[in-house]
């Protein structure tokens, strides 16, 4: 489903060179639920941006669904991003002046789908996340957990094969976080591949496996723990 082989990403200014990903490798099989963990500045956000085709890599191999996506044009990458990848953000990224239905509708409009097709997709996605009765509510009329469910519905309406989630429970209390985790597990059980970036060991414990990232590299758990203990000391 997703294969990165020795990929690197370097950010340069006039005086500083930052290697955000340093020959990072990851293979995610179709249907897996992967948790990516690491300290701040370890490269997690850079990975998400690269995996979601929001940012270019400087070197290495990146294949998505068996296709070499590094060689694609911007237009081709945009099409894949819209049709095959769903995004869930910690801060929900809902448009405050639009109701839930219209927030979920926005990405679908870029596909030039019929109004009937879009409505069917939106209603199905909102039913899946338990918000069928709140599709006319504004984000300000929803709880944090409901806003995250709306954001998940927006990602699901496009029927993506890959779901990328950035700290999806980071702004939620433990009860709401548990509900979102259960929802992600249900979505994964239905066949969607999920990669979650998280600091939450509770969430990571429910993933099929956990990948640790440190200084832009995939590392073994022991190395990640040793680095964490060293930073505390």
Read off the pLDDT of residues 82-112 as tens digits, 9 standing for 90 and up: 899 999 988 899 999 999 999 999 999 988 8
- C-alpha distances in angstroms, 90 versus 11, 146, 161? 24, 13, 20
* CATH number of 177's domain: 3.40.50.300
Query: What residues make up the domain containing 42?
Result: 2-232
Share of the chain above pLDDT 90, in %: 78
**Which residue(s) pair with 195 in the sheet?**
34, 164
- C-alpha distances in angstroms, 134 versus 102, 150, 189, 198? 12, 9, 25, 28
Distance of CA 140 to the CA centre of its chain: 23
pTM for this predicted structure:
0.89
- C-alpha distances in angstroms, 3 versus 61, 67, 180, 217? 8, 10, 27, 15
Round to whole Å and give the CA distance between 61 and 3. 8
pLDDT digits (tens, 9 = 90+) for 138-186: 999 999 999 999 999 999 999 999 999 999 988 888 898 899 999 999 9
Round to whole Å and give the CA distance between 43 and 8. 10
Ordered strands of the 17-28 beta sheet:
17-28, 2-12, 59-64, 67-68
Residue of 56, 151, 55, 172 lying closest to 96 (CA atoms): 151
**How many domains does one find in the chain?**
1
Q: What SS3 state is found at 64?
A: strand
């Amino acid at each position: 489903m997703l294969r990165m082989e020795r990929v690197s990403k370097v950010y340069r200014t006039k005086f500083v060179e930052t290697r955000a990903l340093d020959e990072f490798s990851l293979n995610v099989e179709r249907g897996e639920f992967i948790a990516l963990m690491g300290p701040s500045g370890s490269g997690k956000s850079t990975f998400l941006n690269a995996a979601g085709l929001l940012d270019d890599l400087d070197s290495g191999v990146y294949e998505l669904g068996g296709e070499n996506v590094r060689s694609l044009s911007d237009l081709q990458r945009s099409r894949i991003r819209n049709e095959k990848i769903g995004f869930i953000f910690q801060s929900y990224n809902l448009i405050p002046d639009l109701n839930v239905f219209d927030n979920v509708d926005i990405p679908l409009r870029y596909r030039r789908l019929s109004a009937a097709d879009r409505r069917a997709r939106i209603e199905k996605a909102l039913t899946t996340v338990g918000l069928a009765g709140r599709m006319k509510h504004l984000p300000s009329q929803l709880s944090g957990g409901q806003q995250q469910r709306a954001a998940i519905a927006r990602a699901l309406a496009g029927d993506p094969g890959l779901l990328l989630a950035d700290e999806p429970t980071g702004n939620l209390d433990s009860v709401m976080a548990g509900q979102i985790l259960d929802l992600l597990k249900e979505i994964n059980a239905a066949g969607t591949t999920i990669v979650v970036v998280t600091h939450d060991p509770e969430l990571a414990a429910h993933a099929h496996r956990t990948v640790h990232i440190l200084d832009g590299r995939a590392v073994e758990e022991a190395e990640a723990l040793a680095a964490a203990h060293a930073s505390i000391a």
